[in-house]
Amino acid sequence: MATIMKGSDVAAAMRETLLTELEKLRRKGVDPTLGVVRVGSRADDLAYERGVLKRFKELGIATRVFEFPEKIDSKDFLAEFVKVGASSALQGILLFRPLPKHLDEDAARRAIDPLKDMDGMNPLNVAKVFAGEEDGFAPCTSVAVMELLSHWGVTLTGKNVAIVGRSMVVGRPLAMLMLKKDATVTMCHTKTQNVREICREADILVAAAGRAHMVTPAFVSSKSIVVDVGINMEDGNLCGDVDYDAVSPLVSMITPVRGGVGAVTTSVLAKHILKAASLLAANL
């Protein structure tokens, strides 16, 4: 019977530390506010937004949502995004990605202030992650995977890890974070040969491809520790990249479809906004 690695347990463990840090900031006259920037109304973005707003309300951290129409002109969006980022009322900015294809995501990454960049998208923060430095911001989901594994007692030193997905939001930064913990990491993608065999031989499998139910029993073994990062909508229902019902009876440990990595991601986001508020206050 697999151990279910619930993200809600990790979030609960992080809660007291977050509340303590928030109180310290407030005693210094700093009251953090997160700006959430969303273009359009994709179902996965809305699901994540609801999770963020719920977690931040529970913690007592203020949020402001900036919603823009999906068909907004690229130049207009960049101007509005820069305006949001320049607001002294906001200590952190979260931009939902990917943006609609007609928008210049690279320009947005470069425009965000690295000190307010809550999801590690600015090139400076990316470089810090790849250099193994800890004073920047790594993408929240990749950090959430690390927090979850640590909480559930999974050590990475010497372990073979297969990450399915090479995005700059999860796959690549997560590989760097795991390498820093002395794991041996194989990144799999659409051109990877023998992907099932690679995943089945790994000690830890992270599914972050964005394809519903991609990971089947052929990808795992009885020793597998499976982390499902996928957020997909199928027939109006939220599902992961792992075929949970088929895979969970076969593995050692696994994250649930709901209440898994996502539950930790919002807590990591809260951790980031508190860190950003502290750094910005120190620079005033």
Question: What is the full per-residue pLDDT of the chain (284 aa) written as tens digits?
Answer: 799 999 999 999 999 999 999 999 999 999 999 999 999 999 888 988 999 999 999 999 999 999 999 999 999 999 999 999 999 999 999 999 999 999 999 999 999 999 999 999 999 999 999 999 988 999 999 999 999 999 999 999 999 999 999 999 899 999 999 999 999 999 998 899 999 999 999 999 999 998 999 999 999 999 999 999 987 777 777 789 999 999 999 999 999 988 999 899 999 999 999 999 998 777 65
Domain-located, residue 115: yes
Q: How far apart are alpha carbons 231 and 210 in whole angstroms?
A: 7
Domain-located, residue 185: yes
Residue 13, strand partner residues: none
Residue 138 sits at the vertex; the CA angle it makes with 135 and 141, to the nearest 5 degrees, is: 145
Q: For position 249, what pLDDT does the model report?
A: 97
Q: Are residues 205 and 103 in the same domain?
A: no
Q: For position 282, what pLDDT does the model report?
A: 74
Q: Are residues 50 and 112 in the same domain?
A: yes
Tracing tokens 């951290």 back to the chain, one arrives at 61
Give start and end residues of each alpha helix (H) in the chain. 7-27, 43-59, 74-86, 105-111, 123-131, 140-151, 171-180, 195-201, 244-247, 261-283
Helix (H) or strand (E) holding 253: strand 253-254
**Which residue type occupies 109?**
R
Q: For position 190, what pLDDT does the model report?
A: 85
Q: Are residues 96 and 210 in the same domain?
A: no
Q: Are residues 149 and 253 in the same domain?
A: yes
Q: Are residues 75 and 106 in the same domain?
A: yes
Domain-located, residue 268: no
**Which residue type occupies 47?**
A
Q: How far apart are alpha carbons 41 and 4 in whole angstroms?
A: 31
Q: Are residues 116 and 144 in the same domain?
A: no
Q: Are residues 108 and 168 in the same domain?
A: no
Q: For position 60, what pLDDT does the model report?
A: 96
Domain-located, residue 74: yes
Residue 196 CB coordination number (10 Å): 15
Q: How far apart are alpha carbons 193 and 183 in whole angstroms?
A: 22
Of 120, 151, 173, the residue at which a domain comes to its end is 120
Q: Are residues 112 and 71 in the same domain?
A: yes
Domains of the chain: total: 2
Q: Are residues 213 and 111 in the same domain?
A: no
Q: Are residues 183 and 247 in the same domain?
A: yes
Q: Are residues 152 and 201 in the same domain?
A: yes
Domain-located, residue 145: yes
Q: Are residues 175 and 87 in the same domain?
A: no
Q: How far apart are alpha carbons 225 and 140 in whole angstroms?
A: 21
Determine the structural domain holding residue 213 and report its residue range: 140-262
CA distances for 84 relative to 89, 158, 200, 225, 245, angstroms = 9, 43, 45, 40, 43
Q: What is the CATH number of the domain that holds 65?
A: 3.40.50.10860
Domain-located, residue 70: yes
Q: What is the CATH number of the domain that holds 167?
A: 3.40.50.720
Q: For position 247, what pLDDT does the model report?
A: 97
Q: How far apart are alpha carbons 56 and 45 in whole angstroms?
A: 16
Domain-located, residue 19: no
Burial class (CB in 10 A: 0-12, 13-18, 19+), 130: middle
Q: For position 284, what pLDDT does the model report?
A: 56
Domain-located, residue 131: no
